Amino acid sequence: MPSALLTILAAVVIAQRLAELRLARHNAHWARSQGAVEHGASHYPAFVMLHTGWLAGWIVEGWLRGPSVSAAWPAWLSLFAAAEALRYWAIASLGRRWNTRIFVLPGQPIVRRGPYQFVRHPNYVAVATELIAVPLIFDAWITALVASVVNAILLLAIRIPAEERALGTRAPSQSQFQQRRQ
């Protein structure tokens, strides 16, 4: 069962990523046709490397460990499923504006529906959860740790500041979230 689960989950994640890249390409074409401007393109390859390394890392580490599954694998798999639900809710809430890159449509308001009414960057929360949960299904704790640390550095030091600058905003305070929810 462990090798079957590893193979199935790897196939699912690869299929997801390919579908998301296709959607991102389609949305980028649409955004550019609407006058959108891309920001932060120089850091995009770092995220591609992170996600490619993460995928290869947990697959290889999982195979090297047996392959075996963690005693807590149902919990980790459930956490992954919850992260995916949040991620696809975020994608659906942004609609054509969702992308793996930073595009800003001039004159358009910031999306504040779906999970964006509760969390400023729900997709990043989902992805951070995914980077931990999937490797831990297979006890690939080294991959979970390294990918999580690199992701946190890239998000907090580079990506989120670039996104906030592009949007001309700053992270809202708790009181601003309360005002939006009322």
Give the tens place of pLDDT for each residue, 87-111: 999 999 999 999 999 999 988 899 9
Number of domains comprising the chain: 1
Angle at 95 between CA 89 and CA 101, to 5 degrees: 95
The DSSP call for residue 171 is P
Q: 125 is written with which tokens?
A: 């929360």
Residues 33-68: tens digit of each pLDDT: 999 999 999 999 999 999 999 999 999 999 998 878
Q: For the domain that residue 136 is a member of, what is the CATH number? A: 1.20.120.1630
Distance CA 162, CA 158 (A): 6
Residue type, 31: A
pTM exceeds 0.85 for this model:
yes
Residues 141-182: tens digit of each pLDDT: 999 999 999 999 999 999 999 999 998 854 444 444 444 444
Report the Cα 113 to chain-centroid distance in Å: 18
Instruction: Residue 81: give the domain boundaries.
Output: 2-181
